[in-house]
A = this chain, B = another copy of it.
């Protein structure tokens, strides 16, 4: 690895791909409605080779976007790199000197792709709550349009954590011939009632904010409601252990309780900060739609709850990774997935990584994760070339 590469910024630019201009080209959604004149915001890193066997698709989680790595500017010191910058780039585990990496914002999102805050081409007004309820499979069908646009016949790998992992599983189900390998990290084959419940409460917090206005807010966004939803979700991303180590019962200002209802504990201050930052970069209606897509995610649905039967068509090699302290999508849920894959004689590797970071470990345990992914991708590329 060239040291210079590590000091020089990887510069990327966001790209757009529009589909569904005609009625025939519209995307038929699981709800029965069609999405027309839709945009996908995406970024690419590295070069697609002539053999076309080095393309890797990365799928983002609930609050992620297409900007998986790199920077938009050469010198802006305030700019933060993409959300998985430790994992993706020249000389990094998902090495963009070797792989052509693609990452796109999900439909329903709010970071460039068509979502509830986009203009409805039928009315020329914002969709808001007229946007159709989408599913994880719908997100993947839109990504498949992008794949064709990029003239990629087969992904070497599709990789994602959390909701990104759900998309990985839908890719393996919907397009089994077009994936060499799939890497599902910190995810689940179906959303549990506990997670559905947390999503419900988060959405209620948004709807309670008068500024939400049935989704028709304009300049004054429902910041309080969205911040509350985010804070709740954030607690589920951490582990009890990591919160104890990070915050304990430390007070913000003094040694004594303030005996009021403002932030008193460090953990309260941290959550408030996370809520405020989130409101700056995320949209409340998108939050409703994307959490609903997660609620509806159930890989066993196509076979009436029988996960083994539902996964019968999976053909790619798979790597399933979970983390010991992740209580949102615990290892038991990954194991259920692995058992169903093994029942179908899928080539599946699995690993539970020891970590105290909770669900967020998929973003933080990049050293362990990086080695695993780099090796798996390297081997899969050999298999793909020889097969």
A227 part of interface (Cβ distance < 8 Å): yes
Contacts of A263 in B (CB 8 A): 200
Q: Mark A62-92, 1 if CB is under 8 A from B, else 0.
A: 0000000000000000000000000000000
Asked whether A259 and B208 contact (CB < 8 A) given A228-B201, A232-B201, A265-B295, the answer is no
Q: When chains A and B are docked, how far (Å) is the Cα of A63 from the Cα of B204?
A: 21
In the assembled complex, the CB of A176 is this many whole angstroms from the nearest CB of chain B, namely 24
Contacts of A268 in B (CB 8 A): 196-197, 200
Residues of A in contact, count (CB < 8 Å): 56
In the assembled complex, the CB of A264 is this many whole angstroms from the nearest CB of chain B, namely 7
Would B205 and A235 count as touching, CB distance under 8 A?
no
In the assembled complex, the CB of A231 is this many whole angstroms from the nearest CB of chain B, namely 5
Would B235 and A271 count as touching, CB distance under 8 A?
no
Asked whether A257 and B296 contact (CB < 8 A) given A192-B243, A205-B228, the answer is yes
Choose among B200, B205, B238, B295 the residue that contacts A205 (Cβ–Cβ < 8 A).
B205
Choose among B198, B264, B327, B330 the residue that contacts A235 (Cβ–Cβ < 8 A).
B198
Tell me the A92-110 residues at the B interface (CB within 8 Å): none
A225 part of interface (Cβ distance < 8 Å): yes
A52 part of interface (Cβ distance < 8 Å): no
A248 part of interface (Cβ distance < 8 Å): yes
Tell me whether chain A's interface is mostly helix, strand or loop, or mixed: helix
Number of this chain's copies in the complex: 2
A240 part of interface (Cβ distance < 8 Å): yes
Asked whether A288 and B267 contact (CB < 8 A) given A224-B208, A248-B193, A327-B327, the answer is no
Tell me the A262-308 residues at the B interface (CB within 8 Å): 263-265, 267-268, 271, 275, 288, 292, 295-296, 298
Asked whether A267 and B235 contact (CB < 8 A) given A204-B224, A205-B205, A249-B190, the answer is no
Subset of 8 A-B contacts with CB under 8 Å: A129-B261, A193-B246, A194-B235, A197-B243, A200-B268, A204-B224, A204-B275, A240-B330
Interface residues of chain A, those whose CB is within 8 Å of chain B, are 30-32, 129, 132-133, 190-194, 196-198, 200-201, 203-205, 207-210, 224-225, 227-228, 231-232, 235, 238, 240, 243-244, 246-249, 257, 259-261, 263-265, 267-268, 271, 275, 288, 292, 295-296, 298, 327, 330
